[in-house]
């Protein structure tokens, strides 16, 4: 990868961060709206404007919608990457996995989407997050092998993905930028 391609790849990874995070939050927002809640959305969260869900089941549906979309996006981008053998899709695949992994880790501090659902259905806080991370890891591993992604590109993607997603999360935490 020459310098121009490296810069282009960093930009693609940045766009992947924005797309994966915002689409994940948007589906939470949309699910809440479809359930007749007035929803708000920031860079890294979606929430009922009045801070309450009418039922625990509604809360779980809204919580589950994001991880389901993220998994579907991962499958789509894996398919596109393998079909085209185009490594430009890899940041999207990686970021779906990374978002699920990060959410699972943050369950240690505050229950996130799959952690809340997992606890709600009585199988413990970490069961669904662990299953999702394992499934997505194997999807990503399969994609990497089938598309012939080199280890150097994986490391570059990890670097840019972690950097850009950390910036997005910090900006959201510090400035509470409301999108919807």
The rounded distance, in Å, linking the Cα atoms of 131 and 16 is 24
Question: Nearest to residue 76, comparing CAs of 123, 19, 118?
Answer: 19
Range 2-10 average pLDDT: 97
Task: Write down the pLDDT at residue 51.
Answer: 82
C-alpha to C-alpha distance for 25 and 46, rounded to whole angstroms: 6
Contact 118, 129 (CB under 8 A): yes
Q: Which of 15, 116, 106, 19 is nearest to 58 (CA)?
A: 116
pTM equals 0.96
Mean pLDDT over each residue of the chain, to the nearest integer:
97
143, containing H or E segment: helix 127-147
Whether 33 shows a pLDDT value over 90: the answer reads yes
Q: What is the mean pLDDT of residues 22-41?
A: 98
- pLDDT tens digit string along 98-143? 999 999 999 999 999 999 999 999 999 999 999 999 999 999 999 9
Burial of 154 (0-12, 13-18, 19+ CB in 10 A): middle
């Amino acid at each position: 990868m020459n310098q121009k391609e490296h810069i282009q790849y960093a930009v693609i990874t940045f766009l992947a961060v924005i797309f994966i995070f915002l689409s994940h939050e948007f589906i939470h927002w949309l699910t809440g709206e479809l359930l007749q809640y007035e929803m708000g959305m920031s860079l890294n969260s979606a929430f009922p404007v009045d801070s309450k869900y009418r039922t625990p089941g509604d809360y779980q549906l809204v919580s589950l919608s994001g991880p389901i979309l993220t998994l579907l996006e991962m499958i789509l981008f894996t398919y596109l990457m393998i079909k085209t053998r185009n490594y430009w899709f890899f940041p999207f695949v990686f970021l779906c996995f990374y978002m699920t992994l990060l959410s699972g880790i943050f369950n240690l501090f505050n229950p996130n989407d799959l952690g809340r659902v997992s606890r709600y259905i009585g199988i413990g806080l970490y069961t669904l997050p662990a299953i999702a991370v394992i499934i997505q890891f194997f999807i990503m591993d399969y994609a990497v092998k089938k598309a012939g992604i080199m280890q150097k590109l994986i490391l570059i993607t990890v670097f840019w993905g972690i950097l850009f997603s950390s910036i997005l999360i910090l900006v959201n935490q510090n400035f509470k930028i409301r999108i919807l």
